[in-house]
Structure 1
Amino acid sequence: MPRVKKIPLRMCVGCQEMKPKKELIRVVRTPQDSVEIDPTGKLSGRGVYVCPSKECLKKAVKAKRLDKALQRTVAQEIIDSLLQELKD
């Protein structure tokens, strides 16, 4: 009988739903204190996950959940670059 592989779930800071890690975008605060988008999911630092939808990102920004989760005020240009990367 094959072993069932556990799918890692993460919570989106926008919609607050648990989703498979692979479906979400990771935003990370690096040890150098810069906030970046982490396409590999392997950068070191404090990570936070967002659904790949502009709706979720806007919710996370509006409720300041992105700032709270990263324990840092996220610069507008990072939010803008995230919005550009997102579809819909």
Structure 2
Amino acid sequence: MKVKKIPLRMCNGCMEMKPKKEMIRVVKSSEGEVSVDLTGKKSGRGAYVCKNLSCFEKAFKTKRLNKNLEVNISEEIYNKLKDEIDNDK
């Protein structure tokens, strides 16, 4: 049987490569709208964060999500992302 390749993505907090399914995606659409993508299937530029609070806080403090998506991310998006991480546990 063929071994299925697991897609890896880099976390913007801890900068480690992890399976895509273990992360939360923040996406910027072609119109410049930023949203939290729980399905991982929305079209646009994506950035990933691990589902733990320390990685989220590192990404927030260093503004790495802003740099990767090339747009200022509102507090509302950060709050929604934090809620998702809290709910996941």
TM-score category of the 2 structures, normalised to the smaller one: over 0.9
Identity of aligned residues (%): 54
Unaligned runs of 5+ in 1: none
> Offset at 1:47?
0.2
1:24 alignment counterpart: 23
Read off the aligned partner of 1:15 and give its amino acid letter: C
1:56 alignment counterpart: 55
1:79 alignment counterpart: 78
> Offset at 1:39?
1.1
Question: How many pairs does the alignment contain?
Answer: 87
What's the RMSD between the two structures over aligned residues? Answer: 1.0
Work out whether 1:14 is the aligned partner of 2:13: yes
1:1-54 superposed Cα distances (whole Å, 9 cap, x missing partner): x11111000000000010000000010001121110111111111000000112
Runs of 4+ with deviation above 4 angstroms: none
Q: Please, what TM-score do these two structures have when normalized by structure 2?
A: 0.92
More helix by share: 2
C-alpha distance in structure 2 between counterparts of 1:31 and 1:54, whole Å? 28
Q: Please, what TM-score do these two structures have when normalized by structure 1?
A: 0.93
Unaligned runs of 5+ in 2: none
